[in-house]
Amino acid sequence: MNYQQLLDSLSTAVIIVDERLRLRHMNPAAEDLLAVSRAQVANSSFLSFFDENPEAIGALHQALEEQHQYTKRRVLWRLPNGSQVTIDYSVTPLADDQGLAIEIQPLDRLLRISREESMLTAQETSRSLARNMAHEIKNPLGGIRGAAQLLAKELDSEELRDYTQVIIDEADRLRNLVDRMLGPNQPPQLAEVNIHEVLERVLAVIQAEVGERITLVKDYDPSIPDLPADPEQLIQALLNVLSNAIQALQESAVKSPCITLRSRIHRQFTIGKRFHRLVVRIDIIDNGPGIPNALLNHIFYPMITGRATGTGLGLAISQQLISQHGGLIECESEPGRTQFSIYLPLHQDLEQTL
């Protein structure tokens, strides 16, 4: 077996370059990681997609000249297709000054798992605190409302009864807010659900609200099979996310406001510490002003909002509903484009714990 056959059998991404840093070989794992075919890049310069600073390029030449090995950690490479990947890589000189072997270890999946785990833990702690606070608020509200009702019966003045009615109305408003803080108290009633039927119901509600003021675009993958879910809870979670997008567009001066709903299948995807062979990804994309960076990492926490009239509960409730399905919501935002991505396991019985 020659070295190419040996490298091709490895699951680790390995690239071989010659003394001029031209690509001599790239195993299948490297092709998958870097999203490029070795036939396309054979004999081309490795530096054409080695997007690092001049010091890193100098280190490659130094490794060739001095025949020494080195490793770099947490490096961001920009790939030929425009995407980015975070990696560790080790550079090892080949015998007889024939070039370098570059071994690449992707970190994006591990970093994302760690980030998601920390985010979910922090969100659950925040939700628990909000629920405890809500219970403490809700208990005296009933007494305040009841006392106001009894007081109203004892008053002869209509004007004074108007004041007691204000107390009752405000107590009811606070009770409704507290109920929302407590979040959904029913576990999902799972059934086989066509995700596009859910999306169509959501779009019908949104279309009735926005009319022709906002363009709604559908980009579906019709091959997605049914998934185990509670359709009513999914509808509520999606409506909460879409409502935020609508409000962001209506409050800004965006020309040709647009919201896109996209559905796709992802394979071999990890949510938290659970590995799933297949997940459904639903993207909600708007061309609004974007979410400020100061808020972006906290938008799924209760009572966090960037709007003066917002309660900061909609996205927290959506995250909780999706979490009950074993899923996750993520958000990426920049001026002119905000994308919420909802991940739902397609077959919960195929889960494996990492």
Nearest-angstrom CA–CA distance, 248 and 242? 10
Nearest-angstrom CA–CA distance, 130 and 8? 53
Given a cut of 60, whether residue 104 has pLDDT beyond it is yes
Single-letter amino acid code for the residue at 1: M
Given a cut of 50, whether residue 350 has pLDDT beyond it is no
CATH architecture of 3-106: 2-Layer Sandwich (3.30)
Q: pTM for the whole thing?
A: 0.58
Q: Specify the pLDDT at position 116.
A: 63
- Mean pLDDT score across all residues of the chain: 80
Taking only the tens place, the pLDDT of each residue in 122-153 is 656 666 666 666 667 777 888 888 888 888 88
Single-letter amino acid code for the residue at 340: F
Average pLDDT of span 7-33: 85
Q: Specify the pLDDT at position 261.
A: 95
Q: Specify the pLDDT at position 229.
A: 92
pLDDT-above-90 percentage for the chain: 18
Q: Specify the pLDDT at position 68.
A: 86
CB atoms within 10 A of CB 278: 16
Taking only the tens place, the pLDDT of each residue in 299-310 is 776 555 555 455
Q: Specify the pLDDT at position 181.
A: 60
Q: Where along the chain do its domains lie?
A: 3-106, 111-182, 191-353
Q: Specify the pLDDT at position 263.
A: 95
Taking only the tens place, the pLDDT of each residue in 321-347 is 888 888 888 888 888 999 999 999 987
Instruction: Return the CATH superfamily for domain 191-353.
Output: Histidine kinase-like ATPase, C-terminal domain (3.30.565.10)
Question: For the CA atoms of 86, 88, 93, 99, what is the dihedral angle to 10 degrees?
Answer: -10
Taking only the tens place, the pLDDT of each residue in 191-225 is 999 999 999 999 998 988 888 889 999 999 999 99
